[in-house]
A and B are shown apart, each in its own frame.
Chain A
Amino acid sequence: MGFPRQLTVQQVTAIIISTVLGVGLLPLPLFAVRAADTGAPLVTFLGVVLIFVGLAFVTLLGKRFPEKSIIHYSEDIVGKWLGRIGSLVIIVFFTVLTALAAREFGEVVIINILPATPMEVTVIVMLLTAAIFVRNDMNTFAYIHVFYLPVLFIPNAIIIALSVGDSDALYLQPLWGNDPSGMLPGIFTIASLLQGSFILTMIIPFMRSPEKAMKATVWAIVLAGLLCLSIVIATLGLFGPGETQHLLWPTLELARSITIPGEFLERLDIFFLVVFVVAVFTTLYGTYMFIVYSLKQLLRLQDHKLFSYFMLPIVFVIAMLPQNTLQLYEIVQRVGTAGLCLTVLYPILLYVIARIRRKKGRMAA
């Protein structure tokens, strides 16, 4: 058997896209508009660019060490103990990120479709789904992500297409917004919603040809970025900057506002939401896999399955910590922005040090 290097560029692209796009899409227009009213598309674009920069360095590092993930090569670059501490912080951060995503979606489900169900149930159901399938190997991980990719794009595309008719181009001007002061934190917030892409570092060692990793990165960020951008533009065009700021999940409101011809169904938002379950699952699945796999690598174990259920209660408890929706989003923004240090700054730093110290990994024949 040997080292199973089987993932193609398309599969890696799919993994990044479906991990990036998740529950973050729901409040995305709100964060963008809050930061720079009509400049929301610009803020989104810059956020995407920022995350691309971070991911580009992760890719460069991956190409430099094609056999290793960040957990292993950070030890080579900055030394054993510093590297391990960095890895541990990253794992903890992704644990929190997974927990918050599960909690956010639990919140969305409770408020919109299942008001009588306890929050714990919806959260644990999502986490359990991810935990069970984390036990699969990396190939199956890729198959699952590829399979659900159309589910991410088609409903969003339909909603955007159907809402274009009612939107107003005036809501999008001026392009740079009216108040540039909120721009910078806005960019960080948007970028923080997309930092699931960091799991690429775990995937590169499984690629059939790691030198093509940059292709996957570019494609993934372009496609995911386009979807984010069009959602922000569609929402802003339909509701305007004033109205969008009063909506907690503007994307969902966008789905609520449209009807399909034929009067087949009265409302579409619930359908959108349940299809969104799949998007959330793929995100949780990606980040959960990252936690479990990185723990395995950090502790130098043979098998990652061990941690799949072990981490479940930990993630669950973290998910239950926020008191309410408002506090939850406060935490999401703070933690997310702080996390950028790890997912953007840390790879850049590592890359620079690796260049200076001339550290390089070899590709086994």
Chain B
Amino acid sequence: MSLRFMKRKYHKADPKVVSGNLEDTIRFIQDALGQNEDFVTRRFHVFGHFSAVMFYFAKMVNEMSIKTDVLKPIMHGPPHLDDKDIHIDELQDVLLNESIYHSDAELENQLATLVEELLGGKTMIAVEGLDHAILIATWKIPERAIDEPGTEQVVLGPREGFIEQLGTNIALLRNRLQTPGLRVQSKKLGRMSHTKVAICYMDGTTEPELVQEVERRLDNIDIDVIGDIGYIEQMIEDNQYSPFPQLQTTERPDKTVANLAEGRVAILADGSPFAILLPVVWNQLYQTPEDYSNRLLMGNFIRIVRLIALMFALVSSSLYVAFISFHPELLPTDFAVAVASGRAGVPYPAVVEVLIIDVAMEILREASIRLPTQVGTALSIVGVLIIGEAAVQAGISSPITIIVVALATIGSFATPSYTGAFSLRMLRFPLIILSGMFGLYGLVIGILYIFNHMLSLKSFGVPYMSPVSPGNAQGWKDVVFRFPLWRFVKRPSFLDPSNRERFDQEETKRLSRQPSHTRD
């Protein structure tokens, strides 16, 4: 709300606070909000003789509750006070403490705040002669059901994902972390949207300076509308020009809870089914909740598979280009002959061929996201099967190129973090071009640039490659292999948690003791 605007219009009768003159208040509110179809101004009499007014936005509130919990009791007056004549001085107390049946009601006298809260879906009641208005949290925004998270599916694990309502999301978190340590601070961001943003952290575990830094960066945001949590992500990130995500977005409450418990901070925003987790280190790009919820060997196996997929996504096409155009002598002879015969009709150098197929693949992928689901399957069959087959027959590409590009694409789908997979997809192209120019030498130079860049990145002061370099023994338990859960005695030290110990060292000893059999 623009306070300045109000000042200019109402400089005579102190425009900042409720005056007690009902007509002044009504005029002020109606001028500030203008003519709106969904805005309700309802005049009535409290206990039959104090004239009063109620404001609310009809489509944002629970009208049923207003009728029965608010309007009815304050029109009739409480039964036990039936005979007594209520004086204006007591009215405020009687209203708030004895009449209104709604649980969330408060007094407010700042007009600007009143307007803001009205816009947020609260109901406001002003009474002639009272210098405070009553705000009742009657908001009820339509929300969808809690659904399986679309971008991060698991086989074994919880099925619930965040939704667009901040309140529901916080409930999901609280339900999983029933400790007084969980703190939720809220802020309003966006000059026009007034989006409610919540900072969640564990008091006593999260480094307090980290929370302060998050608050500082959030306070620096000045924008009209926060469209999605992605807006916030971009504005608080360390390096916006980097291909790598320095904050993690997730739809999963279980993942958020695990990260909170490690000492990270989560940011949630109203209107977005995603939470931002920070700080982030690179190995979070390929971790999934399943790594931990699965049994040890299984969890490790799928993680290794995913790491290989990650490498495929990044280098398979450029490795192919380098081999074919510069170092065919490295390939075993039989295979080299097979490759050469497959490429016999292809008029372009390997780089151009791979680039064409790779770009086609990206177009297909983008198209299949945009298409309505009913048409999607048809497109993927036409696109992948028929065009791929036809491209080989027409001599645009060799069959092996199709295999290599398909491997890269499938590999990038296996990366759990959507934004992480995105960066690998993007970086594939410069690597292909470098390989086309300098063969394996170019590829290695490209990878060198990528790693050097990652090593110089920071996410909220934490080096991006953290458990690897700078090294940290505790962190290594979760880089390539995932150690048994009871080995994670301490929280990762690169997060600088105030409380290092996850549990007692004794736990490890207890678990390694000989189990007793019931039959003995």
Contact = CB atoms under 8 A, between A and B. Distances in A.
A264 B330 CA distance: 9
B444 A10 contact: no
A150 B314 CA distance: 21
Contact of B470 (A11, A114, A274): A11
Interface string B123-160: 00000000000000000000000000000000000000
A133 B327 contact: no
B332 interface: yes
B326 A143 contact: no
Nearest to B327: A270
B336 to A, nearest CB: 8
A147 B469 contact: yes
Interface in B438-491: 438-441, 443-445, 448-449, 451-452, 455-456, 463, 465, 468-471
B330 A277 contact: no
Nearest to B336: A266
Categorize the interface residue count of chain B.
Answer: 20 to 34
A266 B455 contact: no
Contacts of A8: 470
A129 B445 contact: yes
Interface in A123-137: 125, 129, 132-133, 136
Contact of B456 (A10, A140, A265): A140
Contacts of A10: 471
A8 B493 CA distance: 15
Contacts of B504: none
A277 B445 contact: yes
Interface string A131-159: 01100100110111011100000000000
Interface in A269-291: 270-271, 273-275, 277-278, 281
B332 A117 contact: no
B470 A143 contact: yes
A125 B470 contact: no
A266 B329 CA distance: 7
B455 A274 contact: no
A215 B293 CA distance: 43
Interface in A236-269: 263-267
Contacts, number: 83
A226 interface: no
A122 interface: yes
A275 B444 contact: yes
A113 interface: yes
B439 A266 contact: no
A96 interface: no
A275 B469 CA distance: 19
A348 interface: no
Nearest to A8: B470
Contacts of A277: 441, 444-445, 448
Nearest to B328: A266
A315 interface: no
A140 B455 contact: yes
Interface string B301-329: 00000000000000000000000001101
A140 B333 CA distance: 43
A220 B440 CA distance: 30
A179 B331 CA distance: 44
A17 interface: no
Contacts of A12: none
Interface string B101-125: 0000000000000000000000000
Given A143-B470, A146-B470, A133 B456 contact: yes
B456 A129 contact: no
A123 B401 CA distance: 32
Nearest to A133: B452
A109 interface: yes
Given A113-B440, A146-B471, A266-B329, A136 B451 contact: no
Given A129-B449, A143-B455, A143-B463, A274 B443 contact: yes
A277 B469 CA distance: 20
A136 B439 contact: no
B435 to A, nearest CB: 11
B337 to A, nearest CB: 13
Contacts of B449: 129, 132
A258 to B, nearest CB: 14
A278 B444 CA distance: 8
Categorize the interface residue count of chain A.
Answer: 35 or more
Interface in A159-180: none
Contacts of A271: 330, 440
A274 B449 CA distance: 14
Contacts of B330: 265-267, 270-271
A266 B445 contact: no
A114 B435 CA distance: 12
Contact of A266 (B332, B452, B456): B332
A102 to B, nearest CB: 13
Nearest to B464: A143
B330 to A, nearest CB: 5
B451 A113 contact: no
B441 A129 contact: no
Contact of B440 (A146, A266, A274): A274
Contacts of A139: 463, 470
Contact of A147 (B332, B333, B451): B451
Interface string B397-441: 000000000000000000000000000000000000000001111
A281 B447 CA distance: 12
Given A263-B332, A265-B332, A109 B468 contact: no
Contacts of A278: 444, 448
Nearest to A116: B326
A1 B470 CA distance: 19
A127 to B, nearest CB: 12
Contacts of B451: 147-148
A251 to B, nearest CB: 17
Interface string B327-347: 101111100000000000000
A267 B329 contact: yes
Contacts of B333: 266
Contacts of A281: 448
A302 B327 CA distance: 47
A274 B443 CA distance: 9
A143 B452 CA distance: 9
Contacts of A273: 441
Contacts of A133: 452, 456
A144 B455 contact: yes
Contact of A109 (B331, B332, B441): B441
A175 B438 CA distance: 43
Given A114-B326, A143-B465, A147-B455, A265 B444 contact: no
B465 A114 contact: no
A148 B454 CA distance: 13
Interface in A36-58: none
A265 B331 CA distance: 5
A147 B468 contact: yes
Nearest to B443: A274
B456 A136 contact: yes
A117 B445 CA distance: 15
Given A11-B470, A146-B470, A266-B329, A114 B452 contact: no
A177 B326 CA distance: 42
Contacts of B326: 113-114
Contact of B327 (A113, A129, A142, A146): A113
Contacts of B448: 129, 277-278, 281
Q: Top 8 nearest A-B pairs by Cβ distance?
A: A147-B469, A146-B469, A274-B440, A140-B456, A143-B469, A274-B444, A277-B444, A143-B455
Given A144-B469, A147-B465, 5 more contacts: A113-B440, A117-B438, A121-B438, A129-B445, A267-B330
Interface of B: 326-327, 329-333, 438-441, 443-445, 448-449, 451-452, 455-456, 463, 465, 468-471
